[in-house]
Structure 1
Amino acid sequence: MKMGAEEEDNQKSIPVLPWMRSPIDVSAVHECPLSLLPCIDPRLKVSLEKMGISSLFPVQLAVWQETVGPGGFERDLCVNSPTGSGKTLAYALPIVQMLSTRSVKCLRALVVLPTRDLALQVKEVFAAIAPAVGLSVGLAVGQSSIADEISELINRPKLELGVRFDPDDVFPELRSSVDILVATPGRLMDHINNTKGFTLEHLCYLVVDETDRLLREAYQSWLPTVLQITRPDDESFLPCAQNFLPSPFGSLKTIRRSGLERGFKGKSYPRLVKMVLSATLTQDPSKLAQLDLHHPLFLTTGQKRYQLPEKLQSYKLLCESKYKPLYLVGLLQSLGAEKCLIFTSSVESTHRLCTLLNSFDHLPFKIKEYSSLQRQSIRSKTLKAFRKGEIQVLVSSDAMTRGMDVEGVRNVINYDMPPYIKTYIHRAGRTARAGQNGCCFTLLRKEEVKRFNKLLRKAENNSCSKYSVPSSYIEPLHSIYESALEKLKETVEMETSRKRKR
């Protein structure tokens, strides 16, 4: 869902919270080799090296210092950092490190993301490091049936004949099979409301990734529900996260409340530690208030609110509306075999554009679409092929704009001009990730240029050069274009006819 024009236009009139006025600039932090990273579990170091990671990026090191390091999770963290700067590992690594210090099996960390595809990607990061320290990671996104998810998340131990559970046991018959859960809001609410044995009562860490989007969309009131479940009955908090985790040897006592568990025998209730992250973190106090943050610490990269990747080159390509697809094909040909991601304004536009491009004969690259019109299994298969390089050009709706990391995307093309600066930042952030070079091209009609320039000024970026496609690429396409339009018309008519018959 897009940010409303009124919200973005009125950002300057919204008062900024005091703690956001003096952020910690993580750009001043240098990368740190793993060999010099304090306190890291050697097993995690080995796992990171297997992933090809030899050092932490600035935002990752800054979060480590405020969690595992001297900061000790004493404050909730808000991270505003450009796409591709390494935010996922920034929270995954310290959470896994902290959970590994106690060997109790219950759900202690929850990561919430707005889309299935992004959740799958984040789960892969956790799954690459958590098993090394004996932790398990679950996924609740609706990719499989609810029954299959329950079987993965909830352990149903078999009882030996004549053996009965102690009613005072902290764990009832149904136990969590995972230490960390990566979830989308809708499926999370399904489990909270309907899954026996599923509880957030022992939750220590809550990560809200892509915060601005999750706060903008209600998603069945998932956030107030989670905060209510995890809020203590009294307000006595432990000051440090090292004491958050319960001992597995009888220190817990079950307190029944609405079918859920809560209680740390002989101890005050722990504070739920929150980490919120985005490349375009909202400054709206009314939205941030929903998170109920505890003395939040604001980490950001530089002093600009809207930031593009450091090594991104932006270009604008002027074209006639009638021949816009020709300019796009010419641009793709001029870029050669480089991996490209094309964004359109809607799922319908994505489908039509991909169909049109595939109607051009003998293009030297493979083109596929990626949108919410497709089943999850199809999207996953397409994304996998794109990552492998079996598909060179992917046409997408904004389903890909949030956090998705596809290695080797050299070019992003805005076939339709993004309506807001946040949309531009998230689209452009699919390239030039992790310090790599990348380009973002925006196709513009003459009447769109002024509005586009105004949009970029919100990111304090005036370095958008004009790009021209050589006429030698475009002229030969005119006759092919007419034929492609006829094929598109026939395809649309066939698809419409099939829908009517259903």
Structure 2
Amino acid sequence: MGEKPKTKAVLPWMRSPVDVSLFEQCPLHLLPSLDPRLKVVLENMDISSLYPVQVGVWQETIGPGAFQRDLCIQSPTGSGKTLAYALPIVQTLSNRAIKCLRALVVLPNRDLAIQVKEVFASIAPAVGLSVGLAIGQSSIADEIAELIKRPKLEAGICYDPEDFAPELQSSVDILVATPGRLMDHINNTKGFTLEHLCYLVVDETDRLLGEAYQSWLPTVLQLTHSSDESFYPHASNFLPFSFNSLKTRRRCGFERGFKGKPSPRLVKMVVSATLTRDPSKLAQLDLHHPLFLTTGQSRYKLPEQLESYKLICESKLKPLYLVALLQNLGGEKCIVFTSSVESTHRLCTLLKFFGDLQIKIKEYSSLQHQSVRSKTLKAFREGKIQVLVSSNAMAHGMDVEGVRNVINYDLPAYIKRFIHRVGRTARAGQTGSCFTLLHKDEIKRFKKLLQKADIQSCPDYSIPSDSIESLRIIYTSALEKLKETVEVETSRKRKIGFKSSKAGKESETNQSKE
């Protein structure tokens, strides 16, 4: 007899999720307990009702659930997850009179963090809350000036530095951060503390749990835990040496800067469009009686208003099919996804050599400097760029209004990546299209990929052969120009590498002489 197929372990609390797709959209005037000030600011943002996932989260936080359990939220991209956690956090913190850091939202990259910060910043000031950003986009000194408030000293009084230690306080109630810069502030910024933290949001959870990111998670959990070290025995191994003294000051239920009063439990909200089922990864979060909110039975779900097509093309002529497709789409806002940052650069360079396409095209990848990416993204949002050629840097969480089409120039290796890519369009109830370019030998693999999302078929999208033939001459010329460009860039990189190597050797020689 053959062996039974192995089944992956599923945590008990994930077996009976709350299906938020069963919730109806709720008009703001019917939303229970919504602060009138937040209602006004939402209406000014043209938001008249909450989406199902937002209603579901509201019920488990401000409603009967009352933040009694940690929440794991899985919902398709574009379904409104950011506002789903931002709104209840802002409402709850509006009752706090003391200015201190109460909520921390962690995201894997700067662009996502900026986007989430903007959501918080659009509603928090209405109830007297301020929002900070710690992502390394500016110098750490500038960030510290934004995050930490120093007391004003009275004029004419001389203070002895040895006797006078000014009390430093947080300037923000809510902080949106990337892991690396968060750890910089934890380790080095005077006055920066998580001792009052009440809410921790881990957005794009799969990515944040998939990489170590300087052990930010065990450090944050240790610095905010409401019990002794035995509750989280291994966290101290990851803590900076300077925080060892904190362990001696902790007492179960009475710590974290609450001056003798029982401290509130640290509430965690875990958010992803494709939440991992790996028990070992989820265990890192140390969740408290977690409640799983999801959409439907399938883990992988495409946006409801998405139309998906496959485009079969000859391998050597793939760029021609892409150009013909872009022309057919008539300048609609598109994101073209490739398999790597190198492919992104070469494809974008090649497209620019196709003559006057009447389409503004730019590349977007992690190889570019942050300021370049931010400038490109701003132009794309404003419609000054119609086509963005991107690596997977744009695949996770990014929300750009008006993206009508996603094009998979390279077939993604995993269904999870496919889900995140196509989620850049058909967001928030809008319509959108996805086109996947395939060689004949990729069709079978693509079919298996879609079956994991319970999709049994995908219609063909055809490009007339005369459209391809008309581009052949231009394509030959563009390939020659691309080859020349690549040779120039390669030569330039070699020179820079040689100069760096030479400078390094000279430095070593000088040091040895000294």
What TM-score do the two structures reach when normalised by structure 1? 0.91
Which amino acid counterpart does residue 246 of structure 2 have in structure 1?
R
Q: Which residue does 2:432 correspond to in 1?
A: 438
> Which residue of 51, 54, 59 corresponds with 1:60?
54
CA distance in 1, matches of 2:280, 2:490: 45
Q: Which residue does 1:227 correspond to in 2?
A: 221
The reply to whether residue 371 of structure 1 matches residue 365 of structure 2 is yes
Residues 1:164 and 1:14: Cα distance change in structure 2 (over 3 Å): farther
Which amino acid counterpart does residue 366 of structure 1 have in structure 2?
K
CA distance in 1, matches of 2:92, 2:358: 50
Larger Rg: 2
Contact 1:223–1:291 (8 Å) recurs in 2: yes
Q: How does 1:387-398 map to 2 (within 5 A)?
A: 387-398=381-392
Question: CA offsets, 1:276-300, max 9 Å, x none?
Answer: 0100001111111110000011100
Q: How does 1:128-139 map to 2 (within 5 A)?
A: 128-139=122-133
The reply to whether residue 96 of structure 1 matches residue 85 of structure 2 is no
Residues 1:12 and 1:407: Cα distance change in structure 2 (over 3 Å): farther
Q: How does 1:50-449 map to 2 (within 5 A)?
A: 50-160=44-154, 162=157, 173-234=167-228, 257=246, 262-449=256-443
**C-alpha RMSD of matched pairs (Å):** 2.2
The reply to whether residue 463 of structure 1 matches residue 457 of structure 2 is yes
Which amino acid counterpart does residue 364 of structure 1 have in structure 2?
Q
Residues 1:397 and 1:382: Cα distance change in structure 2 (over 3 Å): same
Residues 1:195 and 1:425: Cα distance change in structure 2 (over 3 Å): same
Which amino acid counterpart does residue 15 of structure 2 have in structure 1?
R
User: Which deviates the most, 407-416 or 42-51?
Assistant: 42-51
How far 1:492 sits from its partner (Å)?
A: 1.1
How far 1:480 sits from its partner (Å)?
A: 0.2
Which amino acid counterpart does residue 100 of structure 2 have in structure 1?
C
CA distance in 2, matches of 1:287, 1:273: 18
How far 1:498 sits from its partner (Å)?
A: 2.0
SS at match of 1:464: coil
Question: Percent same amino acid among aligned pairs?
Answer: 78
CA distance in 2, matches of 1:199, 1:110: 11
SS at match of 1:435: coil
Q: Which residue does 2:508 correspond to in 1?
A: none
SS at match of 2:326: helix
User: Which deviates the most, 350-359 or 313-322?
Assistant: 313-322
User: Which deviates the most, 11-20 or 39-48?
Assistant: 11-20
The reply to whether residue 483 of structure 1 matches residue 472 of structure 2 is no
Contact 1:334–1:473 (8 Å) recurs in 2: no
Contact 2:362–2:385 (8 Å) recurs in 1: yes
Which amino acid counterpart does residue 397 of structure 2 have in structure 1?
G
SS at match of 1:139: strand
**Larger RCO: Structure 1 or Structure 2 (Cα < 8 Å, ≥ 6 residues apart)?**
1
Contact 1:339–1:409 (8 Å) recurs in 2: yes
Contact 1:109–1:180 (8 Å) recurs in 2: yes
CA distance in 1, matches of 2:126, 2:133: 18
Question: CA offsets, 1:358-396, max 9 Å, x none?
Answer: 010010211000011111111111111111111000000
How far 1:264 sits from its partner (Å)?
A: 2.0
Question: CA offsets, 1:179-223, max 9 Å, x none?
Answer: 000001111111111111111110000000011111111100010
CA distance in 1, matches of 2:40, 2:283: 39
CA distance in 1, matches of 2:20, 2:32: 18
Contact 1:313–1:464 (8 Å) recurs in 2: no
Question: CA offsets, 1:145-181, max 9 Å, x none?
Answer: 111111111111222255989xxxxx96111110000
Which amino acid counterpart does residue 328 of structure 1 have in structure 2?
L
Residues 1:259 and 1:409: Cα distance change in structure 2 (over 3 Å): farther
CA distance in 2, matches of 1:193, 1:259: 18
Which amino acid counterpart does residue 414 of structure 2 have in structure 1?
Y
Contact 1:119–1:182 (8 Å) recurs in 2: yes
Contact 1:421–1:458 (8 Å) recurs in 2: yes
CA distance in 1, matches of 2:458, 2:491: 44
SS at match of 1:188: helix
Paired residues, what number? 471
Which amino acid counterpart does residue 297 of structure 1 have in structure 2?
L
CA distance in 1, matches of 2:328, 2:103: 47
CA distance in 2, matches of 1:227, 1:141: 20
Contact 1:25–1:299 (8 Å) recurs in 2: yes
Which amino acid counterpart does residue 111 of structure 1 have in structure 2?
V
User: Which deviates the most, 469-478 or 437-446?
Assistant: 469-478
CA distance in 2, matches of 1:472, 1:158: 74
Contact 1:29–1:58 (8 Å) recurs in 2: yes
SS at match of 2:411: coil
What TM-score do the two structures reach when normalised by structure 2? 0.88
Q: Which residue does 2:239 correspond to in 1?
A: none
How far 1:477 sits from its partner (Å)?
A: 0.1
Residues 1:259 and 1:445: Cα distance change in structure 2 (over 3 Å): farther
Contact 2:406–2:424 (8 Å) recurs in 1: yes
SS at match of 2:284: helix
SS at match of 1:500: helix
Q: Which residue does 1:47 correspond to in 2?
A: 41
SS at match of 1:96: helix
Contact 1:200–1:230 (8 Å) recurs in 2: yes
